[in-house]
């Protein structure tokens, strides 16, 4: 009998184990099927949105591809030029990759006279990778084209040797590799487009495969893509443009880990998260703070008790893998200790220690308010202790905390570092009212703000429920998402809704392998099955104890929640809130917050998540409005089905409304505005670079501010002393020294410091470092920054007059001739330090030291400015005329800038008149002088007309002379530079002034037509002009020398001027018909042909320039519509 009973027990246990295994098998199969379906939807949403975003970014800025490589480099500014210079070093070097890397490790160009390891100091691995890739792609392309030419030659049998061995130039038709910048351009835009695709994929993934959520996220991302709001992609080489896609990938991996902790592929995800963290840390120095907020977000959820035992494992692994990534980055940066002193390791170690200490104190890692409070306090205390201990050794990021203190606590915490960042505009200040208004106009805040409150409130309720379960355990606790079929009926009918029957039946028990197959065939939606970690093993025993414990108040509160908020969504919300706080304090970090604001907002376009939110808060609303609802009341199945279908329709309609709302906010202003990105190229910058490359030996050290130094490193072979990578304490000191020149450092100290400390002869000053911008009175200027110099001896003792400061005194003060002005144009002045043996100065009475500050003796700067022989003649006669081929242009351009910046007409008048006397046959000088007389002086109209006419005649002579001397072009071009585009501006100036004085008379029309039809550029454009691509336009502009970077950055001006002349010809077409004289010489068909050619040319260059929009109605009989802008955007 006992044997029979034992056999029966064994069989019973075996059946029970077998049943459990079958249930587990079916659940795993069903879950795997659901996971695969979600990942497939996520993948396709990511691919689709990546293609759309990448195409949009490339199309939006494609006009940059028109330019020559030199002009493309000139368009970069400050840190973007600095980072790109390392890429340029690689692609333009004929040395091996090993030697190039070796030079970077022993770099004597970047912080002269010091030798530094650039790979250790800067985040430039992306430039190294792209440089190597470009060289490899270029080599492969040459070989491929060689083979193609060889095959083509054999097939055609002509010019075999010439086609095969004569090929040595890369065809510009392959725009991807036509210049190194183009390769860089396509890579960065594509990378950021893929990153934005990952954001849309994240939205789809976290909403359990909702395409509508992904599309809504795309709509909100586009809605915020305006005026550098969402990204700074217009400044390509910024570090965040490389790092942001990997931040989004990194967070998506962590979200999938949190969402599916118990899946078998977690190891691969952790490894992938490790690699993305390494890339982040290598690509962007601020990434340590990004990863820190990621850890803090998970830790905050852990303290709130969200899936406590699961998150503690995730948190430990997250910290562990990020610590390993940090040490990997430490090795890749050649043991640069900076990263070890950042908040990242301090936060990670503090959290791990607090968890370990709480485990000792509480014996078990189980959630309670006391546990969370203790853990939080311990981790905070440990972080502060670590910070205090390491603070004396951490000087690289002190300026970051200074910025935060200044932004939060006010101006009393401001110093030189904080002020120099604020001088750059709003990017490093609090987020501005204008930026908030643009975000508001996108519509995303109308969903994000209430949605975030709903999520946060649900987290608080879940925490309260977990805490209440200690006294009223395991009542109606389910997993986070409703498990629904397509008709929205509940899958898990085993879980009772009755308050009297609060038993929880495992969802696994209700499935068999056959049921799983049938569910798969029915395309059932996926679900989560995360029961609370604190569930007891024997529910029935716990139920009986619960029935004896009733508290009406807690019972009502507890029954509010029948499902928990998804922990992955909670993490995403906390992460977004951290990013929002950073964006509020430092406006530039909105690039972190806005993408995730779009993702969180798009979540509410998911039908399933809307259903969850409705079911979650329905009991609250019923309780608030005192509406009684009996869950146990029997409902007709047909009525239940009808109600479910109505609910599904309402949720689906709401999703479509949110999707339509996001799409409707698309910023057409991005399409309507010009398509050229941030462009800092200028003729002054180009002429400076050309002069330095022609007149100074390679590797000459030059002291300048960090913005100009970046350009020098990129466009010349000189060595620089400062640069825009401001983190290192040594560079911060050098930057302060440069700003002391904008203050009142003594010239003797400046001279000696350059000689002894920096070992450089040349000092390059930008005019904007010696000027106060006109306009916004609240703007932080150079004056404000120099008031915070650490060395009070360099401050100006309330000396506000700019001409009394060192940057002007270096030229005007005849008692202090330590330097010679060797080059000047409109924006830059280059000084050379005199040899000691040549100094013949009276050193006394230059400055008087009083109470640790400088008080320069005032001198009559007004008299000095008007003193030709003393202040201006040495530069012009001793240097400009001798070695500057653009001397006439630079002289009058500088006269113009004196008016624009300082508003001193007398000085400009002096320089204009001297320029006319020295260069009487320069069309550029005469035309600018005519404009000066016209707009600034208001001189005699006859004299002005004479000057305009003279400038045009001189240009004709220069052109004919140039054409006649093409044989000796090299000799000629060294002295005179022509620009065909500028001739159109001269013609327009003449026409506008003539009509203003004389009206549109037959004489004026005839003279204007003569000037237009005799212009060489207009003849060129009107000849055989049929271009259908940007490449052909670029070839045309460069081959016909229409664009001359050394003279002017004139693609935009060329488009505007051709449009203006075209519209002028269109308007006078009818009037010309009335004059037989005009018709005989310029028939209407000729006028019509020319203005149509010019109009088309202008549209191809810049379809959205001001002139095109203004005169669109004139040529098309309708105002330019949205469809016209879209057509121009995609097809021009």
pLDDT at 765: 93
pLDDT at 1028: 55
Please enumerate in sequence order all residues whose Cβ is within 8 A of that of 359, keeping only pairs 6 or more positions apart, or say none: 365
Q: What is the pLDDT of residues 569-597, one digit of tens each?
A: 999 999 999 999 988 888 888 889 999 99
For residue 937, give both structure tokens. Answer: 């002086």
For residue 907, give both structure tokens. Answer: 């000085």
Q: What is the pLDDT of residues 520-549, one digit of tens each?
A: 333 433 433 333 344 344 444 444 444 444
111 or 683: which carries more pLDDT confidence?
111
Nearest to 526 by CA among 482, 589, 562, 583: 482
What is the enclosing helix (H) or strand (E) of 188?
A: helix 180-206
Candidate from 510-514, 633-637, 806-810 with smallest mean pLDDT: 510-514
Q: What is the pLDDT of residues 633-657, one digit of tens each?
A: 556 677 777 777 888 888 888 889 8
- Count CB-CB contacts under 10 A for residue 990: 22
Candidate from 504-508, 512-516, 1103-1107 with smallest mean pLDDT: 504-508
What is the C-alpha separation between 612 and 604, in angstroms, rounded? 10
490 by DSSP, 3-state: which?
strand
274 or 1008: which carries more pLDDT confidence?
274
Is the pLDDT at 981 greater than 60? The verdict is yes
Q: What is the pLDDT of residues 369-407, one digit of tens each?
A: 888 888 899 999 999 998 888 877 766 666 666 667 776
Candidate from 120-134, 314-328, 600-614, 859-873 with smallest mean pLDDT: 859-873
Mean pLDDT across 1005-1015: 85
What is the C-alpha separation between 682 and 697, in angstroms, rounded? 24
Q: What is the pLDDT of residues 354-370, one digit of tens each?
A: 988 988 888 766 777 88
Whether 397 contacts 417, CB under 8 Å:
no
What is the C-alpha separation between 753 and 757, in angstroms, rounded? 5
pLDDT at 408: 67
Mean pLDDT across 1081-1109: 84
- Count CB-CB contacts under 10 A for residue 596: 25
pLDDT at 857: 57
What is the C-alpha separation between 76 and 84, in angstroms, rounded? 8
722 Rama class: left (phi>0) / alpha (psi -120 to 50) / beta: beta
For residue 446, give both structure tokens. Answer: 């109308």
Q: What is the pLDDT of residues 657-710, one digit of tens each?
A: 888 888 888 877 777 765 555 667 788 888 999 999 999 999 999 999 999 999
What is the C-alpha separation between 516 and 501, in angstroms, rounded? 27
Mean pLDDT across 801-823: 81
pLDDT at 712: 94
Candidate from 30-34, 547-551, 679-683, 911-915 with smallest mean pLDDT: 547-551
pTM: 0.83
What is the C-alpha separation between 100 and 93, in angstroms, rounded? 8
What is the enclosing helix (H) or strand (E) of 701?
A: strand 701-703
Banded pLDDT at 255 (limits 50, 70, 90): very high
Is the pLDDT at 56 greater than 50? The verdict is yes
1040 or 657: which carries more pLDDT confidence?
657
pLDDT at 540: 41
- Count CB-CB contacts under 10 A for residue 839: 13
1091 or 554: which carries more pLDDT confidence?
1091
pLDDT at 916: 93
Is the pLDDT at 514 greater than 90? The verdict is no
Q: What percent of the chain has pLDDT over 70?
A: 74
Nearest to 741 by CA among 808, 694, 658, 838: 808
260 by DSSP, 3-state: which?
coil
pLDDT at 1036: 64
pLDDT at 800: 64
pLDDT at 563: 67
Please report, in angstroms and rounded to a whole number, the separation of the first and last CA atoms in the chain. 94
833 by DSSP, 3-state: which?
strand
Q: For 689, phi and psi rounded to 5 degrees?
A: -60, -45
Q: What is the pLDDT of residues 711-726, one digit of tens each?
A: 999 999 999 999 988 8
What is the C-alpha separation between 428 and 430, in angstroms, rounded? 7
Mean pLDDT across 38-60: 90
pLDDT at 980: 67
Is the pLDDT at 234 greater than 60? The verdict is yes
Round the average pLDDT of the chain to a whole number and report it. 77
Report the number of secondary-structure helices (H) and strands (E) in the chain.
51, 7
Is the pLDDT at 961 greater than 80? The verdict is no
pLDDT at 753: 92
């Amino acid at each position: 009998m006992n044997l029979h009973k034992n056999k029966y027990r064994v069989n019973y246990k075996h059946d029970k184990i077998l049943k459990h295994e079958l249930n587990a098998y079916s659940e795993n199969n069903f879950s795997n099927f659901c996971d695969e379906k979600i990942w497939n939807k996520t993948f396709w949403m990511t691919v689709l949105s990546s293609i759309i975003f990448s195409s949009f970014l490339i199309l939006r800025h494609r006009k940059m591809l028109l330019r020559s490589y030199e002009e493309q480099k000139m368009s970069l500014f400050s840190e973007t030029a600095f980072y790109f210079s390392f890429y340029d070093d690689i692609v333009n070097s004929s040395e091996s990759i090993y030697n190039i890397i070796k030079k970077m490790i022993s770099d004597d160009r970047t912080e002269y006279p010091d030798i530094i390891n650039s790979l250790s100091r800067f985040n430039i691995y992306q430039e190294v990778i792209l440089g190597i890739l470009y060289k490899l792609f270029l080599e492969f392309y040459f070989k491929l084209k060689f083979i193609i030419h060889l095959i083509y030659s054999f097939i055609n049998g002509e010019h075999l040797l010439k086609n095969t061995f004569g090929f040595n130039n890369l065809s510009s038709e392959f725009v991807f590799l036509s210049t190194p910048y183009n390769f860089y351009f396509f890579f960065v835009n594509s990378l950021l487009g893929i990153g934005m695709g990952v954001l849309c994929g994240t939205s789809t993934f976290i909403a359990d495969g909702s395409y509508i959520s992904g599309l809504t996220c795309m709509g909100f991302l586009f809605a915020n893509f305006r005026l550098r709001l969402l990204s700074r992609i217009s400044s390509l080489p910024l570090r965040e443009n490389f790092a942001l896609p990997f931040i989004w990938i990194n967070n998506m991996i962590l979200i999938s880990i949190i969402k599916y902790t118990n899946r078998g592929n977690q190891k691969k995800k952790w490894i992938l998260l490790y690699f993305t963290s390494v890339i982040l840390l290598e690509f962007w120095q601020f990434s340590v703070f990004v990863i820190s907020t990621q850890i803090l977000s998970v830790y905050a959820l852990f303290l709130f008790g969200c899936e406590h035992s699961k998150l503690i494992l995730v948190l430990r692994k997250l910290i562990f893998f990020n610590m390993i990534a940090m040490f990997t980055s430490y090795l890749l940066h050649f043991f640069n200790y900076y990263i070890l002193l950042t908040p990242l390791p301090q936060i990670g170690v503090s959290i791990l220690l607090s968890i370990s200490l709480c485990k000792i104190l509480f014996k078990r890692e189980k959630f309670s308010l006391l546990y969370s409070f203790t853990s939080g306090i311990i981790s905070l205390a440990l972080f502060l202790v670590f910070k205090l201990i390491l603070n004396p050794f951490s000087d690289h990021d002190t300026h970051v905390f200074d910025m935060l203190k200044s932004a939060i606590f006010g101006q009393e915490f401001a110093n030189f570092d904080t002020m120099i960042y604020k001088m750059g505009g709003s990017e490093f200040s609090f987020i501005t009212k204008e930026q908030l208004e643009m975000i508001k106009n996108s519509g995303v805040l109308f969903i994000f703000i209430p949605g975030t409150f709903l999520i946060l409130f649900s987290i608080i309720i879940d925490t309260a429920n977990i805490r209440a379960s200690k006294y009223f355990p395991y009542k109606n606790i389910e997993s986070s998402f409703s498990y629904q079929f397509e008709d929205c009926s509940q899958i898990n009918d085993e879980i009772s809704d009755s308050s009297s029957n609060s038993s929880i039946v495992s969802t696994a028990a209700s499935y068999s392998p056959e049921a799983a197959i049938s569910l798969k065939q029915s395309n059932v939606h996926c679900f989560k099955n995360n029961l609370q970690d604190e569930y007891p093993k024997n529910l029935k025993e716990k139920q009986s104890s619960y029935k004896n414990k009733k508290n009406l108040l807690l019972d009502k509160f507890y029954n509010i929640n029948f499902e928990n908020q998804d922990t992955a969504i909670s993490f995403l919300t906390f992460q977004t809130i951290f990013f929002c706080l950073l964006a509020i304090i430092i406006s530039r970090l909105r690039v972190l917050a806005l993408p995730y604001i779009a993702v969180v907002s798009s979540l509410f376009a998911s039908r399933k998540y809307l259903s969850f939110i409705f079911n979650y808060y329905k009991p609250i609303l019923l309780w608030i409005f005192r509406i009684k609802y009996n869950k146990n009341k029997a409902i007709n199945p047909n009525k239940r089905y009808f109600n479910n279908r109505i609910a599904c329709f309402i949720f689906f309609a709401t999703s479509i409304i949110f999707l339509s709302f996001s799409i409707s906010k698309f910023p057409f202003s991005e399409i309507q505005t010009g398509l050229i990105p941030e462009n800092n190229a200028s003729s002054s910058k180009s002429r400076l670079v050309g002069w330095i490359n022609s007149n100074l030996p390679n590797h000459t050290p030059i002291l300048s501010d960090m913005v100009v130094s970046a350009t020098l490193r990129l466009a010349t072979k000189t060595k620089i002393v400062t640069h825009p990578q401001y983190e290192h304490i040594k560079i911060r000191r050098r930057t302060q020294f440069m700003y002391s020149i904008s203050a009142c450092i003594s010239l003797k100290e400046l001279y000696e410091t350059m000689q002894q400390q920096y070992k450089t002869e040349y000092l390059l000053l930008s005019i904007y470092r010696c000027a106060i911008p006109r306009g916004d009175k609240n703007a932080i200027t150079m004056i404000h920054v120099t008031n915070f110099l650490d060395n009070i001896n360099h401050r100006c003792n309330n000396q506000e007059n700019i001409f009394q400061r060192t940057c002007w005194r270096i030229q005007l003060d005849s008692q202090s001739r330590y330097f010679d002005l060797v080059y000047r144009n409109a924006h830059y002045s280059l000084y050379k330090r005199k040899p000691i043996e040549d100094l013949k100065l009276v050193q006394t009475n230059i400055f008087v030291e009083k109470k640790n500050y400088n008080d320069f003796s005032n001198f009559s700067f007004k008299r000095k400015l008007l003193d030709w022989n003393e202040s201006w003649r040495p530069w012009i006669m001793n240097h400009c005329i001798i070695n500057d081929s653009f001397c006439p242009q630079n002289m009058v351009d500088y006269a113009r800038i004196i008016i624009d910046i300082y508003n001193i007409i007398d000085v400009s008048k002096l320089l204009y008149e001297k320029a006319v006397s020295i260069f009487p046959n320069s069309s550029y000088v005469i035309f600018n002088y005519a404009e000066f007389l016209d707009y600034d002086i208001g001189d005699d109209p006859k004299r002005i007309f004479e000057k305009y006419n003279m400038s045009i005649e001189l240009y004709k002579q220069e052109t004919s002379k140039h054409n006649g001397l093409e044989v000796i072009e090299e000799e000629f071009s060294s002295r005179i530079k022509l620009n065909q585009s500028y001739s159109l501006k001269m013609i327009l100036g003449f026409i506008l002034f003539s009509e203003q004085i004389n009206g549109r008379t037959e004489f004026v029309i005839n003279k204007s037509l003569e000037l237009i039809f005799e212009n060489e550029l207009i003849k060129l454009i009107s000849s055989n002009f049929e271009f259908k691509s940007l490449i052909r336009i670029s070839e045309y502009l460069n081959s016909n020398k229409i664009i001359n970077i050394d003279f002017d950055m004139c693609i935009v001006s060329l488009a505007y001027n051709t449009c203006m002349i075209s519209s002028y010809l269109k308007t006078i077409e009818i009037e010309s018909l009335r004059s037989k004289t005009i018709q005989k010489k310029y028939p209407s068909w000729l006028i019509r042909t020319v203005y149509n050619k010019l109009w088309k040319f202008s549209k191809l260059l810049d379809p959205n320039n001001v002139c095109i929009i203004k005169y669109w109605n004139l040529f098309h009989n309708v105002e330019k519509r949205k469809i016209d802008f879209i057509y121009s955007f995609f097809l021009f």
